[in-house]
Amino acid sequence: MMRVPIILSLARAFVGGLAPLAPTTTRGMRSQTRRGGRRAAPYSDVAEACAALGRRAAELTRANTSPDLVVVPTPLGEPADLTVRAIAALAAADVVACEDTRVAGLLYEAAGIERKAAFVRHDAATAAATAPRLVEAMRRGETVALVSDAGTPAVSDPGALLVRAARDAGLAVRALPGPCAATTALSASGFGNGLAFSFLGFVEGRGASAARRRALRSALDAAVEGPAVLYESPRRVRQTLLDLDKLDGGASQRLVLIARELTKTHEETWRGALGDAVAYLDAGGGGAAAPGEPPRGEFTLVLDAKPKQAGSAEDAKARVAELRASGLSASDAAKAAASELGLKKSEVYRLALDAGEE
């Protein structure tokens, strides 16, 4: 069973400056509950609030029907990012399917969890062989926790095969929310409207291969309706940014966020024009020991949509005519055309009126 004092020490490390949390009920998270018609008072300190969260997580694990497979996201680098629900799930698991048993053991140690579960290596090289054995363990009534070395399993990490095998076998699967480098970097970028994004994982192919060129082209093409997120290694990140800029026409003004070592001690983010990204790395950015030295750490890149080039008056008139022919009103057609061509709606509407599109 988890050791609450360890949970508290971890929690204090990263929420020490936050306001105390109020109690919750098992019906869901609420900022406050009512007792006898009055709002319950906040907890007196952070430690008490964290202890309550730990108790709630343990109660959920005991009260709910245990899933056969629970997908547990793990910290990207900061142990305190492990949620109390994840700690409870790992403490209750009979088997842990993990990329590296040593990394999983360190995670248990950092969280103060007594190691009772059997650890089974389940990575890209072994997944096909271990998935059937893990499914059989679930069929025997054992709960399997699926973890990766860092982040959310099955998101550019092993795990999808085991989840699919469990579901195909009619077993219960529960996924917990938690750390993910893609969404962490995206939320720090300020790109898009928050409605859509594309995730491409690690870039395929090597060197100047056609497969790699296609993957980079796909990344640029994906960043149209929303940002595109991809992962890259320190060894290839400079060349990847250089190639992306070339494929985007050179000296690209498309914005990019370079996030390095997210949540770790040496976390670093840089936001600027894609055409300036290589110069940033060459000047010593990206964790390089000195200017001109190679970057260090794991990288997440977020590409914004390419800035729209304003269309001409003739383009606007032609597009409004097309949209009007499809049944849109003059006002709606002007609004849509203005958005597509990077023009002001009032200007496009005036052009439409001048052209007789009333």
pLDDT digits (tens, 9 = 90+) for 290-335: 999 999 999 999 999 877 666 778 888 888 888 888 888 888 888 8
Contact 197, 227 (CB under 8 A): yes
Question: How many structural domains does the chain have?
Answer: 3
Residue 48 lies in a domain: yes
Residue range 166-212, pLDDT digits in tens: 999 999 999 999 999 999 999 999 998 888 899 999 988 887 788 89
Looking at per-residue pLDDT, the higher value among 210 and 353 belongs to 210
Q: Which two three-digit tokens encode residue 79?
A: 């142990």
Are the CB atoms for 121 and 108 separated by under 8 Å?
A: no
Same domain flag for 145 and 14: yes
Q: What is the pTM of this model?
A: 0.74
Q: Which two tokens stand for residue 99?
A: 């990329």
Domain extent, residue 47, equals 4-175
Instruction: Please say which residue of 175, 200, 223 terminates a domain.
Output: 175
146 found inside a domain: yes
**Residue 308 in domain:** no
Cβ(198)–Cβ(229) below 8 Å: yes
CATH number at residue 224: 3.30.950.10
Q: Does 35 have pLDDT greater than 50? A: no
Reference 183, options 227, 144, 146; nearest CA is 227
HEC sequence for 164-228? HHHHHCCCCEEECCCCCHHHHHHHHHCCCCCCCCEEEEECCCCCCCHHHHHHHHHHHHHCCCCCE
- Choosing from 175, 206, 232, the residue where a domain stops is 175
Alpha helices in the chain, H assignment, sequence order: 4-15, 46-63, 84-92, 101-111, 127-139, 160-168, 181-189, 210-222, 237-247, 277-282, 313-325, 330-341, 345-354
- Residue 62: which pLDDT band, with cuts at 50, 70 and 90? low
Judgement on whether residues 159 and 282 belong to the same structural domain of the protein: no
- Of 122, 157, 175, which closes a domain? 175
Specify the residue for token string 């970097």.
185
Tokens of 19: 């306001």
Mean pLDDT of the chain: 84
Helix (H, G, I), strand (E, B) or coil at 72: coil
d(CA 246, CA 224) in angstroms, rounded, equals 18
Whether residue 270 is contained in a domain is answered as yes
Positive or negative, the CA dihedral 173, 154, 80, 1 is positive
**Calpha distance 102→125 (Å, rounded):** 17
